[in-house]
Structure 1
Amino acid sequence: MGLTSIDDTAPAAVVRRQYVASATGDLDALRATLAPDVEWTEMAGFPLAGTYRTPDGVTSGVMEKLAQDWDGWTAHDDTYVVEGENVVVLARYTATHKTTRKPLNVRVAHHFTVRGGLIVRFEQFVDTALVRDAATP
């Protein structure tokens, strides 16, 4: 029996590439996973709360700002639940706030919608109080 090739446009594969790109700071690779009309929503109460649009808007409004305020910000993806174009990822954020020097280690859930091999929607769910506490002196 021959090996089956992995479809790199499959929703879980696209989402996984996004996590790897984010963890390595490769913003070009991260933008390549996002649809031109992406809607990326950071949860109310999160320091960067709101909806960001376009791949450049997501990386400049979210990833670059996180890097300004936090050392080692990483989303560690561990569990994927896939149903059609929907991918829910259970993960963990770890980082150290640059001003307070307080560590962050919090569980998070991300809901992605992937169409045509690109992320078209993202919604974050996180305990925003834990993030706020780490950022507050």
Structure 2
Amino acid sequence: MTDFATSSAPADVVRRQYLASAAGDLEALRATLAPDVEWTEMAGFPLAGTYRTPEGVTSNVMERLAADWDDWTAHDDSYIVDGENVVVLARYTATNKATGEPIHVRVAHHFVVRGGLIVRFEQFVDTAKVREAMASSAA
């Protein structure tokens, strides 16, 4: 049996990325990303855009999420694997630091893994739910 912690199988690489993210271990997360990774946060999401390089991903996505949200976690619930493509059905949970509003929103992530590294990521999420939690309750 292969140990997912050292396996280069696409689903194992993606799982390591989720575990590193949940632990706040940005070095371990960067180790799952290809040097020329393309990481796309969905249009309408607060961090919308495409980020390149492992450092670009962690500084523009993970570090910014940690600055704006308490306990931001992507819970990876189900994996669908087809060769180098890994689709993960997941959910985000967190509490917005500015408003105190929690989120619990479903999400789908599409990863492409080649040579044991994530080369592409695309997020699909109900951005309205995330933005609602960011809106002031006084508004």
Same fold? TM cut 0.5:
yes
SS of the residue aligned with 2:67? helix
Deviation at 1:49, TM superposition (A): 0.0
Aligned partners of 1:112 and 1:135: how far apart in 2? 27
Aligned partners of 1:67 and 1:11: how far apart in 2? 26
Aligned partners of 1:48 and 1:65: how far apart in 2? 8
- Amino acid across the alignment from 1:129: A
Corresponding residue number in structure 2 for 1:116? 115
> Which residues in structure 2 correspond to 1:1-80 (within 5 Å)?
4-6=1-3, 8-80=7-79
SS of the residue aligned with 1:72? strand
Aligned partners of 1:78 and 1:117: how far apart in 2? 21
TM norm structure 1: 0.96
Deviation at 1:6, TM superposition (A): 4.0
Aligned partners of 2:100 and 2:2: how far apart in 1? 45
Alignment RMSD (CA, Å): 0.7
Deviation at 1:5, TM superposition (A): 2.7
Counting aligned pairs with the same residue, the percent is 78
SS of the residue aligned with 1:94? strand
Q: Where does structure 2 lack aligned partners over 5 or more consecutive residues? A: none
Q: Deviations over 1:65-122 (max 9, x none)?
A: 0000000000000100000000000000000000000000000000000000000000
SS of the residue aligned with 1:47? coil
SS of the residue aligned with 2:51? strand
| Number of residue pairs the alignment of both structures matches | 134
Runs of 4+ in 1 over 2 A off after TM superposition: 4-7
SS of the residue aligned with 1:62? helix
- Amino acid across the alignment from 2:135: T
Aligned partners of 1:67 and 1:16: how far apart in 2? 20
TM norm structure 2: 0.95
